[in-house]
Structure 1
């Protein structure tokens, strides 16, 4: 069983990355469809920035699925990770009261390509 942490946004980013690639959509095109710059979209997909609810709806539409399907895929992947010992957490943001009282252990959070590889290995067992 694996141990580690990841964020909800990082899992969503991997889900969107896999959907985007399966539909042969480049990051720049996805960003354009959402009204974002490519670097901004890349930070979202890489789990370095958090998605807003509005951006989740935009991303679902840009990829050609409804929000419910995107949410279902997200929940499925979160449950798979949790079943394999990965904690999915909301990182403490620097501008919150909790951040002032707690050490945000960002070093233990799995993001981006590492999370994608982990999800791929778990889901192809």
Structure 2
């Protein structure tokens, strides 16, 4: 996994998933608290969709944690991954000028359960 990559949104999704599960909140309930459909929230949590700043605040509120706490957890997880050789990147969006210049890295990005397992294994060392 030394050459692994993941996105900031995927890391945030794992952080939220872990917080949500520790509070025994189901995805459907979390989605409802954020004013989203369950499939929309699932795409965010799995890293398939990118979070907006508004959604980050909504997620913090839905979990009754401060935005600062959520951000701190996110930064800690990013640093942990980077310390273990995992690159955390911002994927190129399809509608940007950069998308025309760079090859598609989607297949190279870790998301969802794989990232969750990776973070869990790193944090439990």
TM over 0.5: yes
Distance 2:21 2:59 in 1: 13
Q: Bigger shift: 1-10 or 90-99? A: 1-10
What corresponds to 2:14 in structure 1?
14
| TM-score (norm. length: structure 2) | 0.98
Distance 2:35 2:106 in 1: 29
- CA displacement at 1:37 relative to structure 2: 0.2
Structure 1 segments, 4+ long, off by >3 Å, are none
What corresponds to 1:73 in structure 2?
73
Q: What SS does the aligned partner of 2:77 have?
A: helix
Instruction: Provide, for residues 30-85 of structure 1, a one-character-per-residue CA deviation record: whole Å limited to 9, x for no partner.
Output: 00000000000000000000000000000000011000000000000000000000
- Structure 2 unaligned blocks of 5 or more: none
| TM-score (norm. length: structure 1) | 0.98
Equivalent runs, 1:1-125 vs 2, <5 Å: 2-125=2-125
Q: What is the total number of aligned residue pairs between the two structures?
A: 125
Distance 2:105 2:12 in 1: 20
- Structure 1 unaligned blocks of 5 or more: none
